[in-house]
Structure 1
Amino acid sequence: MISVERTVFVDRPPGEVLRYLADFGHTPQWDPGTESCTRLDSGPVAEGACWRNVSRFRGRRTELRYSLEHYGPDRLVFVGRNRTVTATDDITVRASAPGTVVRYRASLRFNGLARLAAPFLRAEFERLADAVAARLPVVLAGP
């Protein structure tokens, strides 16, 4: 398994930040690896909501079906799956005057033969996490 974690500060109230991040359809705006993320169901964003996420990693496109597994007052947990990987995005927000601290943790558990590649992919995932940490505050600072 590979886990990466980054913490960023944003000058927005925690409630606004949580509501924005709860809609996984926004990931193309703040995750440089995501090409598209389309809601598969309808209604308010709540636990059980699902998205089709298409990402590019090391020149290859991959598709995962994500669901919002936990939507709490200060924490979101998304789980994405396909036949080779289970991805968990665990996001917490907490007030920190005058804004919000966001902790983003992504964990990837590879299935089958893909598990053998995990040690060789860590550096690439670290770079991607750095890119998310650089982009997320810029996006969240917007209007």
Structure 2
Amino acid sequence: MVDVVTTITVDRPRGKVSAYASDPANAPEWYVNIDSARWLTEPVLEEGSRVAFSARFLGRTLSYVYEIVAYNPSERLVMRTAEGPFPMETSYSWADAGPGATRMELRNTGQPRGFFRILGPVLELSMRKANTKDLQNLKRLLESR
């Protein structure tokens, strides 16, 4: 089982941070490993919506579909995939962190299979590093606007 939690404080209001981070169209801009995101349903963020992603991780190209399983604007977003070699749940949560600042938490949990299962601790360490870079990218992008 993999459970990676990463947090960052962004000097922007919660509504701006959550709106940007929860929009799949923005994922390739701030996620280090995501190459593309494509809506499979109407492009409305709500429970049941589905988005296809293409990503690179540990030298492999991964294609997977996330389904939105919970969404409360400016508070929490939970996406889940059951397909592929790494069924995973990704959640974002946002909280006020002082005037005009937001604390964002990115959490990935999952049960790797096949190639990814044998990597164990290396997988978790790689995910933690990538997530840290992703949140740093998000912070840099939003604070420069």
> Can you give the 5+ residue segments of structure 1 that lack an aligned partner in the other structure?
none
Contact 1:63–1:82 under 8 Å retained in 2? no
Q: Distance in 1 between matches of 2:115 and 2:43?
A: 38
Contact 1:90–1:104 under 8 Å retained in 2? yes
Task: Using structure 2 for the length normalisation, give the TM-score.
Answer: 0.87
List per-residue Cα deviations over 1:62-102 (Å, max 9, x = no partner): 11101111101411111133231112111110112221111
Task: Using structure 1 for the length normalisation, give the TM-score.
Answer: 0.88
Go from structure 1 to structure 2 and tell me whether the alpha carbon gap of 1:113 and 1:125 turns closer, same or farther (over 3 Å shift).
closer
Aligned amino acid, residue 91 of structure 2: D
Go from structure 1 to structure 2 and tell me whether the alpha carbon gap of 1:57 and 1:112 turns closer, same or farther (over 3 Å shift).
closer
Q: Distance in 1 between matches of 2:60 and 2:130?
A: 15
Contact 1:25–1:51 under 8 Å retained in 2? no
How much has 1:60 moved relative to structure 2? Answer: 1.2
Go from structure 1 to structure 2 and tell me whether the alpha carbon gap of 1:94 and 1:86 turns closer, same or farther (over 3 Å shift).
same
Go from structure 1 to structure 2 and tell me whether the alpha carbon gap of 1:15 and 1:114 turns closer, same or farther (over 3 Å shift).
same
Among 119, 122, 127, which residue is 1:120 paired with? 122
Go from structure 1 to structure 2 and tell me whether the alpha carbon gap of 1:93 and 1:109 turns closer, same or farther (over 3 Å shift).
same
Aligned amino acid, residue 142 of structure 2: L
Contact 2:116–2:123 under 8 Å retained in 1? no
How much has 1:61 moved relative to structure 2? Answer: 0.3
What is the DSSP-based 3-state SS (H/G/I as helix, E as strand, rest coil) of the residue aligned with 1:110?
Answer: coil
Show the 5 A alignment for 1:1-143. Answer: 1-73=1-73, 74-96=75-97, 97-111=99-113, 114-143=116-145
Total equivalences in the alignment: 143
Aligned amino acid, residue 83 of structure 1: G
Task: Write 1 or 2 for the structure with the bigger share of strand.
Answer: 1
